[in-house]
């Protein structure tokens, strides 16, 4: 069994390695003044703040890209890709309970939950022990009806169902060349330095949302993608455009905020990714730094998604 699993993982890794990476995208701006505005807003926070930006119509070249090939921490924003993979794997049984969840949640040594307390695992077990595929995805993405720790444990259950971080990463890479720069190195809220952080380029994260916007991800059925879109949908914006989004936030080092998604209007879907990281913030100042990054991220999305006049 172990040998078979290792051979399967090796096959997935080989398949992913053979995939053709998308052409790297250099910094570009159809509106240079907008790029200058974005860069100025980031620089105003100080020299230790990093940013990666993508804005563009789904399936086409970006109208604005800045550091789009630079790996950045994702926090929970990477869960949008997890959701697609989960629904793809269980497309015919989205409303069926997942029997495997209970055994993971009651095992204090399972790496998906070992870094949580017994009380935290019990809370998650009560909320998710008999969850359906659809409910697990909803809890992982929106946190609806669960606390923040259970919201992250839900993502760890999805990761465990895929076989663990290395397996999940290999499956994402084998799914499409556009996802080659998604990096799954740890379970949510595990130490960010032991095995490395979960990372992505803005280019790769944009590709996840482009696939959702166009309802076109290799090997994923239309119903599965529609179900994922339903989980990710948010309130319409001030112009009445449908919004789909999955952000992320962490207040450990580096303090991280990510805004990623797309908006659908009469001219099609416009994808945005704003990735921000603040390095070497003193521990007592991280919450305030996170608030400032979060405010900037939301401001930048509003500015980027403002229709040209």
Domain boundaries, the chain: 25-304
CA pair distance 252, 37, nearest whole angstrom: 28
Cβ atoms of 81 and 211 closer than 8 Å = no
- Which segments within the chain are labelled E, that is strand? 28-29, 49-57, 64-66, 72-73, 199-200, 233-234, 242-245, 248-250, 255-265, 268-278
Contacts of 96 (CB under 8 A, 6+ apart): 90, 132, 133
Looking at residues 116-132, what average pLDDT do you find? 97
pLDDT of residue 2: 46
Contacts of 229 (CB under 8 A, 6+ apart): 212, 215, 244
CA pair distance 307, 22, nearest whole angstrom: 27
Give the pLDDT band (50/70/90) at residue 123: very high
Whole-Å CA distances, 130 to 97, 103, 135, 190, 286: 6, 11, 9, 24, 36
pLDDT of residue 22: 86
Class of domain 25-304: alpha beta
Average pLDDT of the chain to the nearest whole number: 94
- Per residue in 184-241, pLDDT (tens digit) is 999 999 999 999 999 999 999 999 999 999 999 999 999 999 999 999 999 999 999 9
Cα 94 vs. chain centroid, distance in angstroms?
20
- Per residue in 6-32, pLDDT (tens digit) is 556 565 555 555 567 889 999 999 999
Q: Could you give the 3-state DSSP secondary structure of residue 228?
A: helix
Task: Give the residues across from 56 on adjacent strands.
Answer: 271
- Per residue in 54-99, pLDDT (tens digit) is 999 999 999 999 999 999 999 999 999 999 999 999 999 999 999 9
CA pair distance 257, 292, nearest whole angstrom: 10
- Per residue in 25-65, pLDDT (tens digit) is 999 999 999 999 999 999 999 999 999 999 999 999 999 99
CA pair distance 94, 4, nearest whole angstrom: 27
Q: Where are the alpha helices (DSSP H) in 92-132?
A: 100-105, 118-128
CA pair distance 95, 78, nearest whole angstrom: 23
- Per residue in 133-191, pLDDT (tens digit) is 999 999 999 999 999 999 999 999 999 999 999 999 999 999 999 999 999 999 999 99
| pLDDT of residue 294 exceeding 50 | yes
């Amino acid at each position: 069994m172990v040998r078979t699993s290792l051979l399967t993982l090796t096959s997935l890794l080989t398949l992913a390695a053979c995939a053709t990476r998308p052409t790297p995208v250099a910094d570009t701006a159809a509106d240079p003044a907008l790029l200058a505005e974005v860069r100025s807003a980031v620089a105003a926070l100080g020299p230790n703040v990093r940013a990666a930006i993508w804005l563009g119509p789904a399936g086409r070249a970006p109208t604005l890209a800045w550091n789009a090939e630079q790996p950045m921490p994702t926090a929970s924003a990477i869960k949008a890709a997890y959701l697609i993979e989960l629904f793809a794997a269980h497309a015919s049984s989205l409303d069926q309970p997942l029997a495997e969840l209970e055994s993971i949640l009651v095992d204090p040594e399972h790496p998906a939950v070992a870094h949580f307390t017994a009380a935290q695992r019990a809370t998650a077990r009560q909320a998710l022990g008999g969850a359906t595929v659809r409910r697990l995805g909803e809890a992982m993405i929106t946190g609806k009806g669960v606390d923040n720790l259970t919201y992250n444990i839900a993502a760890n259950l999805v990761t465990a169902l895929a076989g663990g971080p290395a397996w999940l990463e290999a499956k994402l890479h084998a799914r499409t060349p556009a996802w080659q720069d998604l990096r799954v190195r740890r379970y949510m809220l595990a130490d960010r330095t032991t095995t490395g952080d979960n990372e992505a380029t803005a280019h790769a994260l944009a590709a996840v949302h482009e696939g959702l916007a166009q309802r076109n991800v290799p090997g994923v059925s239309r119903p599965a993608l529609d179900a994922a879109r339903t989980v990710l949908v948010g309130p319409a914006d001030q112009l009445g455009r449908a919004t789909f989004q999955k952000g992320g936030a962490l207040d450990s080092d580096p303090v991280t905020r990510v805004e990623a998604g797309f908006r659908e209007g009469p001219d099609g879907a416009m994808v945005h990714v704003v990735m921000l990281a603040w390095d070497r913030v003193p521990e007592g100042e991280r919450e305030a730094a996170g608030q400032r990054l979060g405010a900037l991220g939301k401001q930048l999305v509003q500015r980027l998604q403002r229709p040209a006049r």
